[in-house]
Homo-oligomer: A and B are copies of this chain.
């Protein structure tokens, strides 16, 4: 039988899971604690016992995101060729997708939540350093050829495009872009666009390979069926094994 401590921890986790789902679906500013407790079928008193303020839910979800991101960004060191890079940016986009509410109303969150304000700066720095390590790995693997100033400038552009790609999709089609059934295609476009910033610097064979990958994935399966396919790609590459 579960001990009371275990049960409390399980409830706290379940609250977080449901909150993340609601934030992603409706946007954080549009989700009240009343809605969260109704969705969980618990009293608001019970919710407050675990999270005395809505901001704490945002904080804990941000912690989760930051931990997953740090783990993923470590894989930057294992990127040597275009296929590794392709997988790396796909995984990055999937993680951003899982926590898309953070990106949906980012500036609003930053102005309201002190913790997000400081930690998001750290997230951006970590992301920039990881992209720079990806570029260094690709250079060492003789996959790309770029000077130090080029690498710095391309890394910044890659970070900006990866951070705001979902916002861009949302602006272009606010009513559909961020619905789960369109996720696969949106994430694919994002990862392709981030990698295309590197296209002029890839060695000819790698550039050809990038085009091939983009074509092979250009008709993405639905999110439900794409997971095993990505898992297969992940398992077949060094970087995939490092992350799994």
A residues within 8 Å of B by Cβ? Answer: 27, 29-30, 104-108, 110-111, 117, 120-121, 124, 150, 153, 156-157, 159-161, 163-165, 167-168, 170-174, 193, 196-197, 199-201
Task: Find out whether the CB atom of A172 lies under 8 angstroms from the CB atom of B117.
Answer: no
A168 to chain B: closest residue by CB: B160
In the complex, which of the residues B29, B111, B121, B172 contacts A121, with contact meaning CB atoms closer than 8 Å? B172
Cβ distance A119 to chain B, nearest Cβ, rounded Å? 11
Question: In whole angstroms, how far apart are the Cα atoms of A164 and B171 in the complex?
Answer: 12
Cβ distance A203 to chain B, nearest Cβ, rounded Å? 14
Task: Find out whether the CB atom of A120 lies under 8 angstroms from the CB atom of B171.
Answer: yes
Question: In whole angstroms, how far apart are the Cα atoms of A200 and B190 in the complex?
Answer: 21
Q: List 17 contacting pairs A-B, 8 Å CB cutoff, sorted by A.
A: A29-B108, A30-B111, A105-B108, A108-B108, A111-B174, A121-B171, A121-B172, A150-B199, A153-B193, A157-B196, A157-B197, A160-B161, A160-B164, A160-B165, A160-B193, A167-B167, A200-B201
Question: In whole angstroms, how far apart are the Cα atoms of A165 and B157 in the complex?
Answer: 10
Number of copies of this protein chain within its complex: 2
Interface of chain A: mostly helix, strand, loop or mixed: helix
Residues on B with C-beta less than 8 A from A157 are 157, 161, 193, 196-197
In the complex, which of the residues B153, B163, B200 contacts A164, with contact meaning CB atoms closer than 8 Å? B163
Question: In whole angstroms, how far apart are the Cα atoms of A106 and B107 in the complex?
Answer: 9
Question: In whole angstroms, how far apart are the Cα atoms of A157 and B189 in the complex?
Answer: 12
Cβ distance A117 to chain B, nearest Cβ, rounded Å? 5
A30 to chain B: closest residue by CB: B111
Task: Find out whether the CB atom of B171 lies under 8 angstroms from the CB atom of A124.
Answer: yes
